[in-house]
Structure 1
Amino acid sequence: MIRPTSINATLLFFISLTFPLLQLSSCASETDLLKEIGEAAEEPIAISNAKITNFSFLSVDNNGLTTDIIGTLDENTKTVYVELDPLLIPIEKLVPTIVLSPGSTVSPTSKATQDFSHERTYTVTAENGTKETYKIIPSIIGNICTSNLQDSGPIKVSANNQRIENLYIRTSNQHGIEINNYTGVVISNCIIEYTGKFMGIKFTSADNLTIKNCSIKYVNAPAKGPLEDADRNCIEGIGSQNIVITNVRVEDGSTGIRLNQCDNSILKYIEGHNMRGPFPRGQLVQYDKCIGGLLENFSVINDRDIAWTEDNVSIYKSGGQQIKKGLIVGNNSPTGVGVLFEDQNTEGARGGYGGIVEDVDFLEMGNGVVSSVEGSKNVSFTRIRAKQIICGELGQNRGKSTSNSLIFGAFGTTANTGGNSINDCIVFNSCNPTNIVWPEHNFDVIDYRTDIDFEPRNPIVLNFNCD
């Protein structure tokens, strides 16, 4: 019989042998666990971003490019927009440079030659295998016509940053494109034919709007003379800032481009034909209560037996405009002039005094070439050239000039306060050589010559052919 004390001793003996073994087992498990955690922490975390961060065509990779083409990326729609001119570069064989989020790859690869005459698709794959698909949409500059555009009726913009592209829009019952209270809209590669009492493009409160590479024509105009009313402009904008209009042709509208309270606009490469009025319209461009603005590289050709003009470029109650590098041909208004600054100090005027007309040629002007009148002042007329001035009948029985074919005008301002200047200008073979500057006291500088002929600037001729 075993005594109880012996049983206790035996149990203590086994416990003393087992406990160290348990401790060793526990320590080994903890070490392994810590090792596993450490190894897991050292493993790189896969990035789930699959993004294109920049898409471009670099001049070093593409023959014909003199400057890099940087795409416009819309990450929300996974779309990249690029502008390409097939007359300058072979758009069927372009080499893109694609910058990606860290660790991502793309197919087709960056620097792989592709055909960008139409939409392309690129797939981006992140480290963890997630994928995103991007569309590359080319805007083909100078390569639009009815055969390669999608037919469309009139459009009303419905979102900020909306893009309207590659459309042939025809309308007779509303404006071709209408924008109200949306910003960042882009209108590109469109032909718009409109008629009735409507506009080709009309926008209100549409800051940062871009209109480019478009032809806008009022159709069903009479064979000659004015339209039925003055509310049929090719483009009209109200209360919109930082507008860019470039590579645009306007034809047969009441006015080509009319801007009302649109500050700091940029208009470049504007081609105009036969502005139709009637009064008070008839301009290629009119600024109405606008602050600043640039009109550069432009022309308007008015057939005096067809068009019904007023001022060719009107700066009304506006200040700071720069009118540069242009050609103006044809004015049959007995009261209108080539470029007019007026009413810079009257109620509602904006922009203060002053402006520039520089490197602009004028032919077949009737009532006047350039003027700063009725409270306007501090306007600089530099390298203006004028010839073929008209003293007789202006066309379509509109009568004769009311100013006796004045060239430089500065009336309606208190004597000796005009501050205007005539710098290095040419007036050749004027029909009224005694009526060049009036009144002289409102010009601080009068510098012009009458004994030099000149070859006029070439008109802007935009390419809207498919060839």
Structure 2
Amino acid sequence: MLQLSSCASETELLKELNESTEESDPIPNAKITNFSFLSVDNDGLTTDIIGTLDENTKTVYIELDPLVIPIEQLVPTIAISPGSTVSPTSKTTQDFSHELSYTVTSDNGTKTTYKIIPSIIGNICTANLQDSGPIKVTANNQRIENLYIRTTNQHGIEINNYTGVIISNCIIEYTGAFMGIKFTSADNLTIKNCSIKYVNAPAKGPLEDAERNCIEGIGSKNIVITNVRVEDGSTGIRLNQCDDSVLKYIEGHNMRGPFPRGQLVQYDKCVGGLLENFSVINDRDIAWTEDNISIYKSGGQQIKKGLIVGNNSPTGVGVLFEDQNTEGARGGYGGIVEDVDFLEMGNGVASSVEGSKNVTFTRIRAKQIICGDLGQNRGKSTSNSLIFAAFGTTANTGGNKIIDCIIYNSCNPTNIVWPEHNFDLIDYKDDIDFEPRKPIVLNFTCPSDN
């Protein structure tokens, strides 16, 4: 039995005991108090970027413009509560093109995880652009900037045999049997920070013909298209014999076809090319898709960090490599699809077929595969909802690979890979759910637009 000394009251001893306990077991304190990008640490920044912290939801919101800074390689400065550590650590270079998580650990082991959510911003809207009709380029290195272009009887912007042209900060609305931007022999073209929309499209279904693409290029090298939204065109971006293109931060909505168009991006007889950080959202009751990304008679393309939602074609797939060995093909064999999520696919997710080979599918994730009607009475999948395909190549010569992929809750779980003999490696899991990547959302509105 504990005996209390008469030198101090019982109340005072209990108070001392409680204070001792509090000192040995401090109140958990694992917090981010500030999240920022400092100009001294990040090339391209002239002023610091300070994140907006929501402590209730443990979320930090940051606004980033990929035209100003390389957001795939940013160095954050993170302030945390005293005695805590954070992982990844402050001043560690990270890719902020998508949502990230940081975990703060207090000195007694308590952990708090914060979401860092980047908003990729544009800086234009109709209210601060100059009204314009269609434009034809007339000189090398011409700059077309800060325009609101509307056209019904010509291409929005047309370039023929001029190089080094820059199109930036433009909103283009076009209609009729024309393109938003059409270019031929326009090496080193840059299209950045633009919104391109086909207007007067029907409420649902295909356009009148397949020649109403948002962007179409022919015979042009080293094209850069970044921070661009395409909507309701026959195809979003169609490149024919355009080598070594770079497409980044592409936001697509409701590709309208008809066949053979209906893609977000189509490469036709192209050598190489990078498509990275992109999304396309097709409402299957509105859009009229074929393959979401078509790589036709082309080789060496890299398709990375994307989200593809919605395909209502009974013959189209999410990403298709085909005919790499047929007459007119350029670029040789192979390609990469990496870190791309697929939802609401019917006929297929990713394929290397009809003479294509050596394609690697890495960290692909797919769910909500469709076995029934695909929408708008287009019928059912002709492949019985196959996921990965590699047919049309001599057995055991395909050289394709499936690496660390996830196929969740497929409507036809016995029809995942066919034929297996044209894959050198088949590595996927089918029992893990996942949260899809966030779509690219570019901002082309101002309060005054409303």
Unaligned runs of 5+ in 1: 1-61, 72-85, 90-140
Greater Rg by CA: 1
One-letter code of the match for 1:176? G
Residue aligned with 2:421, SS: helix
1:272–1:300 CA contact under 8 A, matched in 2:
yes
- State whether structure 2 residue 440 is matched by structure 1 residue 465: no
Partner Cα separation in structure 1 for residue 167 and residue 347 of structure 2: 37
2:232 equivalent among 234, 248, 252: 252
Pick from 57, 62, 67 the counterpart of residue 42 of structure 2.
Answer: 67
**How far apart, CA to CA, are the structure 2 residues paired with 1:217 and 1:64?**
35
Could you tell me which residue of structure 1 aligns to residue 381 of structure 2?
401
Q: Distance in 2 between matches of 1:394 and 1:466?
A: 36
Q: Distance in 2 between matches of 1:166 and 1:429?
A: 47
1:163 to 143, 155, 159: 143
Query: Offset at 1:332?
Result: 0.1
- The corresponding residue for 1:209 is 189
Aligned to 2:395: 415
User: Letter of the aligned partner of 1:334 in structure 2?
Assistant: P
Shift of 1:214: 0.2
2:406 corresponds in structure 1 to: 426
Matched, 1:448 2:425: no
CA deviation string 1:33-55 (max 9, x = no partner): xxxxxxxxxxxxxxxxxxxxxxx
Q: Which residue of 2 aligns with 1:14?
A: none
Among 314, 324, 329, the alignment partner of 1:344 is 324
CA contact (8 A) 1:384 1:426 kept: yes
Match of 1:267 in 2: 247
- Show the 5 A alignment for 1:73-222: 142-222=122-202
Give, in angstroms, the shift of residue 66 of structure 1. 4.9
Matched residue of 1:69: which SS? coil
The alignment partner of 2:403 has SS state of strand
Aligned AA for 1:170? R
Tell me, what secondary structure is at the counterpart of 1:441?
A: helix
Q: Which amino acid aligns with 1:242?
A: N
Change (3 A) 1:66 1:201: farther
Change (3 A) 1:434 1:357: same
| Structure 2 gap segments, 5+ residues each | 1-36, 47-61, 66-120
Give the drift of 1:70: 9.6
**Pairwise CA distance, 1:142:** 1.5
**Contact 1:143-1:466 at 8 Å conserved across structures:** no
After the TM superposition, which segments of 4 or more aligned residues of structure 1 sit over 6 Å from their partners?
A: none
Percent identity between the aligned chains?
89
Q: Distance in 1 between matches of 2:64 and 2:438?
A: 21
SS of corresponding position for 2:248: strand
1:163, 1:213 → 2: CA distance? Answer: 13
Q: Provide closer, same or farther for how the CA distance between residues 87 and 444 of structure 1 changes in structure 2, counting only shifts above 3 A.
A: closer
Q: State the Cα deviation string for residues 300-356 of structure 1 (Å, max 9, x = none).
A: 000000000000000000000000000000000000000000000000000000000
Matched, 1:377 2:357: yes
Task: Give the alignment's TM-score, normalised by structure 1.
Answer: 0.71
Residue deviations 1:5-52, cap 9 Å, x none?
A: xxxxxxxxxxxxxxxxxxxxxxxxxxxxxxxxxxxxxxxxxxxxxxxx
Give the direction of change, closer, same or farther, for the CA distance of 1:395–1:303 in structure 2 (3 Å limit): same
SS at match of 1:399: coil
Partner of 2:88: none
| Among candidates 262, 283, 292, match of residue 303 of structure 1 | 283
Amino acid at match of 1:206: A
- TM-score, normalised on structure 2? 0.74
C-alpha distance in 2, partners of 1:450/1:169?
A: 48
Q: Which aligned pairs between 1:39-78 and structure 2 lie closer than 5 A?
A: 66-69=41-44
Displacement of 1:258 after TM fit?
0.1
Counterparts of 2:229 and 2:280, CA distance in 1: 10
Q: Secondary structure at the match of 2:216?
A: strand
Larger RCO (alpha carbons 8 Å, 6+ apart): 2
Give me the whole-angstrom Cα distance separating, in 1, the residues matched to 2:135 and 2:63: 30
- 1:318-329 pair list within 5 angstroms: 318-329=298-309
Partners of 1:452 and 1:422 in 2: CA distance: 16
Cα distance change of structure 1 residues 456 and 88 upon mapping to structure 2, 3 Å threshold: closer
CA shift at 1:69, angstroms? 3.4
In structure 2, the residue matched to 1:317 is: 297
Tell me the CA shift for residue 465 of structure 1. 2.4
Counterpart Cα distance in 2 of 1:64 and 1:397: 54
Question: SS where residue 422 of structure 1 aligns?
Answer: strand
The answer to whether the 8 Å contact 1:65/1:88 transfers is no
Distance apart, 1:464 and its partner CA: 1.2
CA RMSD of aligned residues (A): 1.6
CA, structure 1 residues 65+153, in 2 after alignment: closer, same or farther (shift >3 Å)? farther
Count of aligned residue pairs for this structure pair: 341
Contact 2:38 2:45 in 1 (8 A): no
| Displacement of 1:466 | 2.7
Q: Is the 8 A contact 2:126 2:445 kept in 1?
A: no
Does the CA contact (< 8 Å) of 1:284 and 1:300 recur in 2?
yes
Q: Secondary structure at the match of 2:191?
A: strand
SS of structure 2 residue aligned to 1:147: helix
The letter for the 2-side match of 1:387 is K
Listed one character per residue, the Cα deviations across residues 434-466 of structure 1 (whole Å, up to 9, x for unaligned) are 000000000000000001000000000011123
- Kindly state the Cα deviation for residue 68 of structure 1 after the two structures are TM-superposed: 3.5
Deviations 1:34-89 (A, max 9, x none): xxxxxxxxxxxxxxxxxxxxxxxxxxxx9657533399xxxxxxxxxxxxxx9569
CA distance in 1 between counterparts of 2:227 and 2:379 reads: 35
Aligned residue identity for 1:68 = D
Question: Does the CA contact (< 8 Å) of 2:39 and 2:45 recur in 1?
Answer: no
Contact 1:64 1:88 in 2 (8 A): no
Report if the CA contact (8 A) 1:255-1:281 is conserved: yes
2:261: which partner in 1? 281
- 2:74 maps to what in 1? none
Query: Partner amino acid for 1:169?
Result: I
Paired with 1:436 and 1:365, the residues of 2 have a C-alpha distance of 13
